[in-house]
Amino acid sequence: MTRFVLPLAALVLLVGACSSTQSALNTQSVPAKPAGTVETRWGSMPAYTSDKGSPILLDPQGIPAPLRGYSMKLDLLVDRDGTVREVDVRKTTSMPDVDAAIAAKFKKARSRLVLAPSDPAPYVIRFSFDHRVEVADSDGNYNRDQYHFVDDRPMGQGQPLATDRP
């Protein structure tokens, strides 16, 4: 029995390392890429982004997922150490409870960006947040926009009117 303990421990460590690889990549710091200067409610601020994934570490647990889709735009005021100091909702979801919950989640987030010593801080990260809802029909096919139909065939190519039938 004791001869299996060492290989079993090695296997547990290997499985743990393999399963956390993606999350470890998402938590690594990335160099900040200057994105110019933006006008915010805090005044004119430097903005940064990343070429390597999301610049924000965000725990998705507890983000509202109502039955309808929504999108919102946020400005995050971030200190040099990556702490989100303030959140400004630039485009609302038109659902005040959802806006408040998402803003609170982003307030607890952290920036993955690493600034050069010469880069000014605090800085702004402009973030767009989208929640889409797709509805499947009885055959399991997804219709992205179930309430809007566009028939872009040229006139005269569609179904004949009921009065045109013999």
Model confidence at 65: pLDDT above 60 = yes
Q: What number is the average pLDDT over the span 78-86?
A: 93
pTM (2 d.p.): 0.64
Please tell me the distance from the alpha carbon of residue 118 to that of residue 4, in angstroms, as a whole number. 55
pLDDT band at 89 (very low <50, low <70, confident <90, very high): very high
Residue type for position 75: D
33-56 confidence digits (pLDDT tens):
888 999 999 999 999 988 888 888
Q: Could you tell me the two tokens for 122?
A: 């605090």
Structure tokens, 34:
């200057």
User: pLDDT tens, 101-160?
Assistant: 889 999 999 999 999 889 999 999 998 878 777 666 666 665 554 444 555 566 666 666
Confidence of residue 29 (pLDDT cuts 50, 70, 90): confident
- What's the confidence (pLDDT) of residue 162? 59
Pairing between β-strand 113-114 and β-strand 30-31 as defined by DSSP bridges: parallel
Cβ neighbours for 107, distance < 8 A, ≥ 6 positions apart: 84, 86, 87
